[in-house]
Structure 1
Amino acid sequence: MSEDFKTRDGSAWMPDYLTAIDGATCIGCGRCYKVCSRDVMHLYGVDDEGAILGICDEDEDDDFDGELNRMIMVVDKAGACIGCGACSRVCPKGCQTHVPAAALAA
């Protein structure tokens, strides 16, 4: 473990950053979105062929002109992730990919 990452008390800690969500497995429940304080992912609409239609606006009931088949979470602001892991703890499908910070370091 890298000594570069530490908790407030000085203990070694390795953040695991969210890098992807498997759209084939995601059920679009929104649990990960609700616990994320960093606005890392958003709900997107998907059509019958699996093409992503666009972001779903919470304030609008958009069905993308009747093309909406289901909704999934998409990581669209990965750089904002702090690696806390809250999203992975609430995901009922285990569809997220997390990568240790040391593996992403340049």
Structure 2
Amino acid sequence: MNSFVSRDGSRWVPEYLSQIDANCIGCGRCFKVCWRDVMHLSGITDSGEIVGAGDGADDDEVERMLMIVDHPGRCIGCGACARVCPKNCQFHIKSSD
């Protein structure tokens, strides 16, 4: 497992975003603090289909919004997204190196 040393000399082990569960309310707070484009805001229809902007779904068809992790490899494990999430719906994993 990779660990790093912060400026004050304390050890830090990054935990990488792996998924966001169905409790997500689509508030976008995590998206706003993540500068690595790890996730994006999508809509979910009544039938459970996930649709993004420009996918042809009307606003009337979207039941609610939620965040989707679409580039987990871009995550640097800083944890900023988890700290701002009001629903604690994110799952993070430690590196297996």
Q: Give me the TM-score of the superposition, normalised by structure 1.
A: 0.78
- Alpha-carbon distance in 2 for matches of 1:52, 1:10: 44
Residues 82-91 or 43-52, more deviating: 43-52
Q: Once the two structures are superposed, what CA deviation does each residue of 1:4-53 show, in whole Å capped at 9, x if it has no partner?
A: 4333455321001000001x200000000000011110001110122212
The count of residues paired between Structure 1 and Structure 2 equals: 96
Q: 2:23 aligns with which of 17, 22, 25?
A: 25
Alignment map for 1:1-106 (pairs within 5 Å): 2=1, 4-8=3-7, 10-22=9-21, 24-53=22-51, 55-56=52-53, 64-65=57-58, 66-101=60-95, 104-105=96-97
Runs of 5+ consecutive residues of structure 1 not aligned to the other structure: none
Runs of 5+ consecutive residues of structure 2 not aligned to the other structure: none
- Alpha-carbon distance in 2 for matches of 1:51, 1:34: 24
Among all aligned residue pairs of Structure 1 and Structure 2, give the percentage whose two residues are the same amino acid: 58
- 1:3, distance to aligned residue in structure 2 (A): 6.0
Q: Going by fraction, where is strand more abundant, 1 or 2?
A: 2
Q: Give me the TM-score of the superposition, normalised by structure 2.
A: 0.85
